[in-house]
Amino acid sequence: MSVSASDAEFEQLKAELDAWVRGPGEEWSERIEELGDVPAELYAELRDRGWLSLAAPEELGGRGIPFARYLELLEIVSRSHGSIRMLVHVNNGLWRAMAPFVDDAQREVLKRAVSGEELVAFTLTEATAGTGADIRSTVRRDGDVYLLNGEKHLITFGVKADRWLLFARLEGSSGAEGTVALLVPNSGLPGAEVIDDSDTMGVRGTDHAILRFSDTPVPVSARIGAEGEGLAVALGGFLLPSRVSVAMSCVGLAERAQELAASYALTRTTFGKTLAERPVIQAYLAENYADIVAARALVLEAARAYERSAPDAAALSSASKIVAVDMLGRVTDRALQIHGGQGYWRRNAIERVYRDARAQRFEEGTNEIQKTVVARAVLATARARTATP
């Protein structure tokens, strides 16, 4: 499917995804929970179905589906296991960071990432740093190599990735100045240590890594963009749309929680009545519905703002994540409450959904960070209005 594909083709793709999520996807979900790992066969299936390359442009080997429409597909995938959603989300978004900066040789690597032939891990977060401008990992140049030092943590796919899209700074630099982006192969580099840190509360099966580097040699040719453009690579093309994508992931997972709650309410009987007949349960389901549709509308508005490069796109991106994350917390809590004690047992899908939902609160930046972004935009608008005669 391409940008010019018909609405009928798009609806067919949505139906195909939905059928997979409710059938094979649910079987894969149970297997992931049992193994605590995402089998290589699942990754291959997602790749072969073309679901890892939905959003990238056709010249990179993707299907070229516009962002807002892609989010409708991610919404469906997000009703599945958190690790399945994570694979689809990251593979369909990471190209945005790299594409504006890669040279010809790196573009071939990027195409392999888009197709799913190679897995690239976004490697920004550090234990002692927060927003990106304060990263402490450093490089110093020695001829045609950089010597990399530092530590990264909470790196999704950091263990299994073929390459890390890694961000550091030139020794002695501060702030955004001197930051660099490096496409580093995960192939037993000298001085590189990969620690599996995958034992998480939710989104079981997705591997996470702690990475430590001690004078690890990285070719200067692995740099993406110029020295000083590291944060432009990290923040400009990836995090803004990725935050909107995470917000839509919250919507999809909330929809799954609502489905499970409504189904349980129709079948569970107490004192001669189904739960669905009880006003308090009806109120929970109504509140969930209102929460979900309101969040979804804001997410799609943020997506459209991003597509047209609107001045408020960044603020809307962060606002959509604030609203969607808070919504998901309320919806999954009510859904679990409708299940009563049964919902606390792992044999019931709502238990997994509840655990997976908690991860969204810090993915692509906590709500505390998002509120800072939104507040800056609000105050900038107020200052401009005040300055206008």
Summarised one tens digit per residue, pLDDT across range 113-169 is 999 999 999 999 999 876 678 899 999 999 999 999 999 999 999 999 999 999 999
Measured distance CA(323)–CA(298) in Å, rounded: 8
Instruction: Examine the pLDDT at 238 and tell me if it is beyond 70.
Output: yes
Report the pLDDT value the prediction gives residue 177, as an integer from 0 to 100. 87
The per-residue DSSP string of 97-152 comes to HHTTT--HHHHHHHHHHHHTSS-EEEE---TT--SSTT---EEEEETTEEEEEEEE
Q: Beta partners for 218? A: 146
Q: Is residue 255 within 8 Å of residue 205, measured between CB atoms? A: no
Instruction: Examine the pLDDT at 47 and tell me if it is beyond 60.
Output: yes
Summarised one tens digit per residue, pLDDT across range 269-291 is 999 999 999 999 999 999 999 99
Residue with tokens 């296991």: 81
Measured from the Cβ of residue 24, the count of other Cβ atoms closer than 10 Å reads: 13
Report the pLDDT value the prediction gives residue 308, as an integer from 0 to 100. 96
Instruction: Examine the pLDDT at 77 and tell me if it is beyond 90.
Output: yes
Q: Beta partners for 185? A: 163
- With a pLDDT cut of 90, the percent of the chain lying above it is 89
List CB contacts of 261: < 8 A, sequence separation 6 or more.
284, 285, 288, 334, 335, 338, 339, 350
Residue 376 to residues 240, 242, 282, 380, Cα–Cα distance (Å): 15, 20, 39, 6
Q: What are phi and psi of 216, to 5 degrees?
A: -75, 120
Measured distance CA(255)–CA(243) in Å, rounded: 19
Q: Is residue 84 within 8 Å of residue 46, measured between CB atoms? A: yes
Measured distance CA(256)–CA(300) in Å, rounded: 19
Q: Is residue 345 within 8 Å of residue 351, measured between CB atoms? A: yes
Q: What are the percentages of helix, strand and coil residues in the chain, rounded to 5?
A: 55, 15, 30
Domains of the chain: 7-115 (1.10.540.10), 120-227 (2.40.110.10), 232-382 (1.20.140.10)
Question: Average of pLDDT values for 359-365?
Answer: 89
List CB contacts of 133: < 8 A, sequence separation 6 or more.
175, 176, 179, 231
Question: Average of pLDDT values for 200-217?
Answer: 95
Q: Is residue 101 within 8 Å of residue 61, measured between CB atoms? A: no
**Plot region of 297 (φ>0 → left; ψ -120 to 50 → alpha; else → beta):** alpha
